[in-house]
Amino acid sequence: MEKDVLTAMEKAGKPVRPGEIAKALNVDSKEVSKAIKKLKEKGEVISPKRCYYSLP
């Protein structure tokens, strides 16, 4: 799931909301949020503004 989220973020090319990623991957946004939380802890994802996430 984390790899899918990173790929979706890369394709978007801009900061995205978890809901947008969930829609693109056709999964529940709660799952995407969990994956983003883990990726943030690892430093693989940043939050440039509230509720938006992107690659560093």
Yes or no: say if 36 and 1 are a contact pair by the CB < 8 Å rule: no
SS3 44: coil
**What end-to-end distance do the CA atoms of the chain give, in Å?**
19
pLDDT digits 0-9 by tens, 1-56: 999 999 999 999 999 999 999 999 999 999 999 999 999 999 999 999 999 999 99
Strands (E), 1-56: 46-49, 52-54
Average pLDDT, the chain: 96
- What the chain holds in terms of domains, given with CATH numbers, is 2-54 (1.10.10)
What's phi and psi for 53, nearest 5 deg?
-135, 150
At what angle are helices 29-42 and 2-12 packed, to 10 degrees?
90
- pLDDT at site 1: 95
